[in-house]
Amino acid sequence: MKFQIIFIYMMCFLMPYFLVAQNTIQGIVYAKNQKKEALIGVNIFWANTQKGTTSNEKGEFLLEKINQSNQLVFSFIGFKNDTIDIKNQTFIEVFLKDDTQLKEIVIKDKKMDIETIKSEILTTKSLQKAACCNLSESFETNASVDVTVTDAITGGKQLKLLGLDGVYAQIMLENMPHVRGLAARSGLHLISGTSIKSIEINKGAGSVVNGYESMTGQINVELAKPESSEKLLLNGFINPFGRWELNANASQKINSKWSTAVLAHTSHLQNAIDQNMDGYMDTPKFSQYNLINRWKYEGKSTEAQFGFRFVNDTKLGGQSEHNHNNHLNQILYGASSDLKQYEAWTKIGFVSKKVEGRSVGFILNMKHHAQNSFFGLNQYKAWQNTINSQVIYQTPIIRTHINTLRLGASFLSDNYDENWQAQIPDLQSITRQRYEKTAGVFAEYTWKPTSKITWINGLRADVHNLFGGFLFPRSHFKYQITDKIILRASVGRGMRVANPMVEQASFLASSRQVFWANNLRPELAWNYGINFTQEFDLFGKDAQISLDFYHTDFQNQVVTDINTTQKISFYNLEGKSFANSFQLQAEYELFENFNLTLAYKNYDIRTTYTDIGLQNVPLIIKERFFANFDYTLKNEKTAEELVIDVTGEWLGKMNLPNTQNNPVEFRRRQISESYWLLNTQITYKPNKKWDIYLGGEDLLNFMQSNPIISSNQPFGNYFDAAIVYAPVMGRMLYAGVRFYVR
């Protein structure tokens, strides 16, 4: 019934497209050279009017036809302007010639990142190099973000940035805080990969404008845009285990001011998969329905957006014969989750007609999150209501862009109700009900005395109703030593209120007793970072090398102590806790359309535990080596393309939680083994309308042996499914197809 509702909704939405398609012109803008590069940000407008648009990251554009003009003008720095007569065409390809007077300007596939805050952008092209079924699976071809499996029961995954848990990174959806609170783990699975337009990764202290919760960086997810996305994108995915998904994105330019889009997703797996033959499902059965409807208004000096989002996600893991009726029977072990999210948001911006660069914007976001989960005999039931509002004012100072000031205020409220009910009498039951409200003001000043130096200084002041007031200074400095060498430095303070029960839910899939300090304080940390980036030519081809080092120093931390067998404790830090992250990355175009990325990462992460002092944090890999290459074969005559992508990753050893007090048969090694992962995908594009892709993950078929301790006694004292350092599911092949109406 739910799928039928989505289908009817899509059909009602698509009807206007068939009625007004002939009143629009769309196309792609290329550089007229051997590489046929798509040009981003080309100004496109009807001659002698102010009606226009810009090309997106694929060089694509969509514009409504008008009666006042039938000539379309294309303007881009470094290229000659071009004017095209439009008659009955609905789709055109435009090739701009280099301006001979600006030969020093070279347009490259990989432009050097010249932003003050070090950023990495994953575009649609990058995301489509892997299966990318949801956000947690979107970083397989990226070296900066690590993705790990949390346990052998729930199928949960966590992101890690600078070696630390992803909860210390601020994960946003279109610059609104998103994967946080009770959704700190589950939220990664609730954003469909097909709906994502791009992902921006910023390491270190983030901007004060986006809030105080960033400690190790910010990850911002941008969804498909109503005004510039494909009119229709259909995607289907399937693998041999029985997992399948369907995605449908549709966008419609209603008139010169209004546009809208629907992003629909459903995915399912109902087979019990047990490759390692331990009697437990390697990944849980699941069903998910996900629907987004967004609208955009573009006026002369006003821009507005609003949207709605609904997600229903159910999971069932545990022993292969388990079903939803087996809970609380002490015969079969199961872990289940029933989750729902409702969300609505609006953004309104006003641009000054008198002063270029002056604007004011308002953001309002409301979300309801509810989940009911079982871990064996224990039940976790919780809900969260969130309201986030913000106003931002930006202006140049003395009417010049050398100095820019951003001022604003924000209000964030989180209403939580959590209940952990242990069915075994000697285990602790926990209830947490709290209403958090935080009001804040911020200022951010950008100083750019020359084209080579930029310095951004920001300060936030926030008052929390339970914990009092806090100050958050942040500073970012960039010095462009030469056209191809950039040095960056950053420092900043961040804070977050931990939700240990959901953030460490993997350890609930065990017989560990939960101990909880009554006075848990907010987590506070300083982050210091430095980055060096150099671009150069090697044998006539583009190359880039980047080196960065970040140090995170915790003033307070909610310590998750799993060093004692059969016990997990949450308490405030008493002593030192820090993380050092080093990364060296090189990118090189070996030959035309063949790009190679190599990276090495090293982590030193330690925390002070009450009983054993300062120790390495368990379950964190100390070293990683990453390699990726992609090669695109193009047939210029037929527009056919074949894209080959291969990613290899070596993951080093890690310390494992201590199990030496267990009986001999229930002990595990203290240090994990290292291993390799190999993923690949081949995409065939016969034309502009179709993509057909085949891929494989963990092609070397490496699996952790016996990941579950005491698997034959799930209700015994030593059962533990959370000591996982490698995949618990082996080789996985998949196939899919995409269809576009542009």
Taking only the tens place, the pLDDT of each residue in 57-112 is 778 888 878 877 888 888 886 677 888 888 777 778 888 876 533 333 232 334 44
Average pLDDT over residues 715-720: 90
- Find residue 93's DSSP bridge partners: 28
What are the DSSP calls for 234-282, one per residue?
Answer: EEEEE-TTS-EEEEEEEEEE-SSSEEEEEEEEEEEE-S---TT-SSB-S
Name the least confident of 85-89, 430-434, 578-582, 730-734.
Answer: 85-89
pLDDT of 123 strictly over 90: no
pLDDT of residue 483: 84
Determine the Cα angle at 107 with ends 102 and 110, to 5°: 155
> What DSSP state is assigned to residue 507?
G
- Give pLDDT tens digits for 185-203: 999 999 999 999 999 999 9
pLDDT of 660 strictly over 60: yes
pLDDT tier for residue 5 given thresholds of 50, 70 and 90? very low
pLDDT of 559 strictly over 90: yes
pLDDT of residue 326: 60
pLDDT of residue 437: 97
pLDDT of residue 67: 76
Q: What proportion of the chain, given as a percentage, has pLDDT over 90?
A: 60
pLDDT of residue 104: 30
Q: Which 3-state string (H, E, C) describes 566-625?
A: CEEEEEECCCCEEEEEEEEEEEEEEECCEEEEEEEEEEEEEEEECCCEEEECCCCCCEEE
Q: Which domains does the chain have, with CATH numbers?
A: 2-102 (2.60.40.1120), 119-741 (2.40.170.20)
Count of residues in the chain: 742
Q: How far apart are CA 453 and CA 252, in angstroms?
A: 42
Average pLDDT over residues 373-398: 91
Name the least confident of 37-41, 69-73, 575-579, 736-740.
Answer: 37-41
- Tokens 């789709």 belong to 91
pLDDT tier for residue 402 given thresholds of 50, 70 and 90? low
pLDDT of 275 strictly over 60: yes
pTM value? 0.84
- Give pLDDT tens digits for 235-257: 999 999 999 999 999 999 999 89
pLDDT of residue 163: 94
pLDDT of 645 strictly over 60: yes
pLDDT of residue 388: 97
pLDDT of residue 114: 57
pLDDT of residue 105: 27
Chain-wide mean pLDDT for the chain? 88
- Give pLDDT tens digits for 304-318: 999 999 999 999 999
pLDDT of residue 529: 96
Name the least confident of 36-50, 99-113, 510-524, 616-630.
Answer: 99-113
Q: Select the more confidently predicted residue: 558 or 133.
A: 558
pLDDT of 225 strictly over 50: yes
Q: How far apart are CA 315 and CA 206, in angstroms?
A: 34
User: Which positions ≥6 away from 18 have C-beta within 8 Å?
Assistant: none
Supply 338's token pair.
Answer: 């029933």
pLDDT of 456 strictly over 50: yes
pLDDT of 3 strictly over 70: no
Q: Select the more confidently predicted residue: 107 or 571.
A: 571
Average pLDDT over residues 474-499: 94
pLDDT of 41 strictly over 80: no
pLDDT of residue 12: 40
pLDDT of residue 428: 60
Supply 404's token pair.
Answer: 């820019």
pLDDT of 632 strictly over 70: yes
Q: Select the more confidently predicted residue: 530 or 375.
A: 530
pLDDT of 15 strictly over 70: no
Average pLDDT over residues 272-277: 90
Instruction: Please compute, for residue 361, the number of CA atoms within 13 A of its CA located in the half-sphere on the CB side.
Output: 20
pLDDT of 10 strictly over 70: no
Q: Which 3-state string (H, E, C) describes 278-325?
A: CCECCCCEEEEEEEEEEEEEECCCEEEEEEEEEEEEEEEEEECCCCCC
Q: How far apart are CA 462 and CA 465, in angstroms?
A: 10
pLDDT of residue 11: 38
pLDDT of residue 78: 65
What are the DSSP calls for 87-113, one per residue?
Answer: SS-SEEEEEEPBPGGGTT----SS---
Nearest to 257, CA basis, from 300, 227, 302, 297: 297
| Gyration radius of the chain over CA positions | 26
- Give pLDDT tens digits for 669-704: 999 999 999 999 999 999 989 999 999 999 999 999
- Give pLDDT tens digits for 158-181: 999 999 999 999 999 999 999 999
Name the least confident of 49-63, 504-518, 613-627, 638-652.
Answer: 49-63
pLDDT of residue 329: 62
Q: Select the more confidently predicted residue: 321 or 709.
A: 709
